[in-house]
Chains A and B, each alone.
Chain A
């Protein structure tokens, strides 16, 4: 990355001595975070700025490090699930899902059809709520405060539905190895359907405020271009990659659960800039709504059925390793499991999309202004719980 000298906390907030002279002035080192309102958690960036222009940016992470991956090793397989909630804490369902997938793969379990549909349903609801949260915070970062309240109005309904299903709103713990903990409650699908059908109007409402807004476009078009080639080099996935024009989505590329039976599209952009990332996410919201409606439809037609496969009481995957990934709202979320045949994972590594996408930030930000950096952090969509683990 761009910085060439190690920095320690406490000494960074000083004007650097020396350095290349710019108009006879020196670059200023600016400590951006970890307690900055728009770093979305505890991200710290050490910026070198020439006036307001960013010369170099170095993310300093680890403020939320909890040793989750080590903690996984001390828990039995079913006990790991609640810990995965705390990775990307605004999209707990996809975290649960990715973990369950890898264990099921190792155990050779086949998840019943109904459970698959409910899982996909939960995933897509989670994607909608995560994207809504993203839109809210990204808009606030650019100074538009109103969309925040609009999106939270809808997100609230989704969280209420989650609460009704599994008792939790944020850290859902809503999946089990081999299926689901509980069946859907009576009337839940109807509520979801009414809400989801109306969502399209709500999306239009947000887009009316932002999409053609001249200031919004001025702040986003052409900012932080990150081409498909660069994305592949850096391993960037999710909407950032798709905004660069590459239709790479695990749901289509390596279909898991019942995604192959569902009808949806992968929206992609052309210009690979912040504005395209915004458009891609807005289009994904509409696609997720379609998927939810299809799942609701299927579940209404097939109310009977198992929700959990026959699972052994003590789960001991054979001594081998395996990887499974889902398309989380932020990109490819993968779990890599190494088992030694015992009832606890020998090693469980997470491939978090936020962490890997965050690497691209300094590349994107250099040459832009401090205000653009805020927009970039907003549109990369990171969650520090996942970055630091």
Chain B
């Protein structure tokens, strides 16, 4: 009886609390990293006053947000306005129940894995739950009764729904390779096959990550909150703690996308080359560390994107999603399915082929880069006389 209590109540509860706490803290720390890294990219220093080198900046910001005045517009749909941030934050955090941070470990004699649950429908659950977040965006946009928020909400609805399709197809190709919906089995499968799925799933990875950036409304797809166009998009009218829910969920979603990309394409908690024996000294590093390292890399790419790219226009974004990404993702699914029919060899061949093509493409693009041509003036004789 007491075993059941421990196994089914206490451990899950503790895990849930720990995961939610850690994710919230991670999101906070991530904002600090983002600001510092962006500052590095932009020849400035970034926050460096609170704590050592600004390390407590995010704590100060959180406290500030919690105590800020909560402004509700007079004409807002009150219930919807109150509910929208919750509808965004809850799915963003709920997803973490299935993210596999690490394998089983022993803690005071209790053996337990470093994830809250290993759902047998893991990926479906993930796609379903993250989609619920769209309601938060739309309702926030509609409920604040502001035109800019409404435009932002509509943009986000269209964008997130469109980009879920290529994302789904990209994930489907991983399901074909991993022959399971459970995230943990997918990691095990990568260990069994001896390759990360990034190699045979190279196209799928790019599709997934691009759609992921679009799903989380980050540059260059940050149209729903495009500052220079829609002021702040769907959360224009929000302030204080409610606003911080949107903020937190955005960063939590970024971590989700990175964590899922790590799990599906980069072998999750596995060390590099998991089956090569002489690299086994790498096992001294705990698996959770590998996981966090890989996730951090994707977070960095997010921030890098933000420092580099301008923003797409709405119609261009939709054209990219429907006319480019979806056809590619369908073709890719077919390709991967054919390779998977051939078993392990098929995946190896596909992986080698794609990687080769990718490297070749990189070289060709680099070669074909036009040399910098100074802008030539082409004067037309002035028809206006002095």
A positions within 8 Å CB-CB of B: 13, 28, 30-31, 36-38, 52, 139-146, 148-150, 153, 204, 207, 209-210, 212-213, 215-216, 218-219, 228, 232, 245-248, 253-254, 265-270, 279-280, 282-283, 286, 369-372, 374
Contact = CB atoms under 8 A, between A and B. Distances in A.
27 contacts: A31-B147, A37-B228, A38-B227, A52-B151, A140-B228, A141-B228, A142-B311, A143-B228, A143-B309, A145-B307, A146-B41, A146-B308, A149-B44, A153-B43, A213-B309, A213-B310, A219-B312, A219-B313, A232-B384, A245-B378, A253-B382, A253-B386, A265-B377, A268-B377, A282-B375, A283-B374, A371-B223
Given A144-B310, A150-B43, A213-B309, 8 more contacts: A143-B226, A215-B310, A219-B312, A246-B383, A246-B384, A253-B384, A267-B377, A374-B229
B380 A245 contact: yes
Nearest to A279: B375
B145 to A, nearest CB: 11
B44 A286 contact: no
Contact of B315 (A213, A267, A369): A369
Interface string B366-383: 000010101101111111
B219 interface: yes
B74 interface: no
Contact of B310 (A143, A149, A232): A143
B125 interface: no
A212 to B, nearest CB: 8
Closest A-B pairs by Cβ, 3 of them: A143-B311, A149-B42, A247-B379
Q: Of residues A13, A246, A280, A286, which shows the largest number of chain B Cβ atoms within 10 Å of its Cβ?
A: A246
Interface string B310-326: 11111110000000000
Nearest to B219: A143
Contacts of A232: 383-384
A218 B313 contact: yes
Given A52-B151, A150-B43, A369-B314, A36 B231 contact: yes
B311 to A, nearest CB: 3
Contacts, number: 123
Given A38-B228, A369-B315, A247 B43 contact: no
Contacts of A31: 147
A139 B42 CA distance: 14
B147 A267 contact: no
In terms of DSSP, what is the predominant structure of the interface of chain B? loop
Contacts of B231: 36-37
A374 B377 CA distance: 27
Interface of B: 38, 41-44, 147, 151, 155, 219-220, 222-223, 226-231, 306-316, 370, 372, 374-375, 377-384, 386
A289 B316 CA distance: 36
Contacts of B377: 247, 265-268, 283
A38 B311 CA distance: 14
B372 A204 contact: yes
A286 B310 contact: no
Contact of A246 (B42, B372, B380): B380
A209 B308 contact: yes
A246 B382 contact: yes
B315 A144 contact: no
B382 A248 contact: yes
Nearest to B155: A52
A254 B386 CA distance: 6
A336 to B, nearest CB: 17
B57 to A, nearest CB: 19
Contacts of A282: 375
Contacts of B226: 143, 371
A115 B313 CA distance: 48
Contacts of A267: 375, 377
A219 B316 CA distance: 9
A120 B306 CA distance: 39
A50 B381 CA distance: 40
A42 B44 CA distance: 29
Given A28-B147, A140-B228, A149-B42, A216 B379 contact: no
Given A37-B227, A215-B220, A145 B380 contact: no
A30 B312 CA distance: 21
Nearest to A148: B42
Contact of A270 (B42, B151, B310, B378): B378
Nearest to A254: B386
A149 B312 CA distance: 21
B378 A370 contact: no
A145 B384 CA distance: 39
A228 B372 contact: no
A257 B170 CA distance: 65
Contacts of A247: 377, 379-382
A193 B381 CA distance: 34
A141 B370 CA distance: 27
Nearest to A213: B310
B314 A52 contact: yes
Contacts of A142: 228, 310-311
A248 B384 contact: yes
A219 B229 contact: no
Q: Of residues B41, B311, B383, B384, which shows the largest number of chain A Cβ atoms within 10 Å of its Cβ?
A: B311
B334 to A, nearest CB: 27
Q: Of residues B231, B372, B380, B383, which shows the largest number of chain A Cβ atoms within 10 Å of its Cβ?
A: B380
Given A146-B41, A228-B380, A268-B380, A374 B375 contact: no
B176 to A, nearest CB: 31
A143 B220 contact: yes
Contact of A369 (B219, B228, B313, B384): B313
B147 A139 contact: no
Contacts of B230: 370
Contacts of A143: 219-220, 222, 226, 228, 309-311
A38 B229 CA distance: 7
